[in-house]
Structure 1
Amino acid sequence: MARTKQVRAVAISAFFVLLVFVLYTSTTSRSAAVAPAGVPTAKSPVDASSLIDSTNDDKLDAAINNEIAKLQGEVADPKKVDAKKPAAGAVDKPVAAKGDSTPDDKKDDAITNVKVDPSNPNSPTVFDPAAELKLIRSMSPITIFSKTFCPFSKKLKALLKENYEITPAPTIVELDKHAHGVELQAYLAEITTRRTVPNVLVGASSVSRGGADDFVALHRDGELVNLLLEWGGKNLIVRKNDAPSNV
């Protein structure tokens, strides 16, 4: 009796195995008739939200990806079938459109288009030699552009200090100490045609009145006082000292 039960159980198991095999074969045949070769069916283990990146040839991958895209309601771009799926959490870098500035161009634009904030002492400024010269010359009718190490500049300054009383006192600009002395000297060379120091400007004119040798010659000839008064106008007072000159 027990043996008969065992035989019956085996027979029932075999029947179910055969039934599952027949159903599986039938389903596989229907799927192969509908879907293109190599394209995963609805029961494929491939996730419909992923693109295929395999070792297959490009045409096969493109066909598979197009089918996946259709399930998502979009058409895949065949040119992008080789693109790797971004890792989780990855952020795409922005791609500049044609004609956009590169980082270096933006940097150059930032330098070119400097905006000065007068209320901010740390705000960048662009040096304006013309404005600087106008400010300097407003301080006195006589302006001497000099350099601290220049012997000719020292000679001229000593000549005027020791032999003349000048009111207002000349404004002396030491170009080697000025923050923008190089630019200022280049601008002076442009408007006065004198590139060396000392360089003396008197009155409202931009004409250079000369350097040390010129002033020493005028001093010896006794013409310096009259010329300074003529060049400086009514705002300048010049008197010669009675002390003997060392020049």
Structure 2
Amino acid sequence: MTDALTFPPLLYGEPATGGAFEHACLRATTGCDAGLVAYAKGTTTLEAALVFAPEVPLGKAMAMLPACGIGFQNALGVLAPPEVAVHLDWEGGIRVNGASCGQLRVLASSTDPEAVPDWLVVGFRLPLLPEDDRPGDRPDRTSLFAEGCADVDPTALLEAWARHTLHWITRWDAEGTRPLHGEWRGLAHGMGEETTRNGLTGTFLGVDEDFGMLLRDSETTHLIPLTTLLEDTP
């Protein structure tokens, strides 16, 4: 089947059978080449997932989660009206004009931070339209088209996400995490505010070199590794 979408060099598209994240994970376990972008374009949602073949330990490779998040923010930032604000939660949440609007997910072949995984998959799911008939019941949640982005073409957004994400991956490979840190800090939601993660409550101070959350309570600063966000095998 010929792919109708256009992806940058090193990436190639494949329509998903079912969810894009699950499709990409299944293809990764069967040994597909890195660079696969699985996608599912529905009338109410947009899903995509990218397969990586890391050459560094998992703890370092987890930087692909914020890289994909930054790529999404940059892509939507170009295509959406200028008044639309897009931010990122540490745990992969996407926020549009302050409200939750989609989620990034991550899974790898291993959960050992010191081991080089055979594969790693990062994907996102974005609601295009409200998921029920009473969106006002959940003012903390929104959809893309409800935030003034009805003219954003999902296909263009998907292609732009692939391009911008590849740009940040290339910079990470050449320059390390510093450029990612600089860009991510300007997009991070909730930094400096109280939050609860892994049963710990404190102030979200920022992240360490590998994007682990630094959480300060009344006694000490806790480090919550990004690997705690890894999902179980679907």
Question: Who wins on radius of gyration, i.e. which is larger?
Answer: 1
Q: Which protein has the bigger helix share?
A: 1
TM-score (norm 1): 0.23
TM-score (norm 2): 0.24
Larger RCO of the pair (alpha carbons < 8 Å, separation 6+) = 2
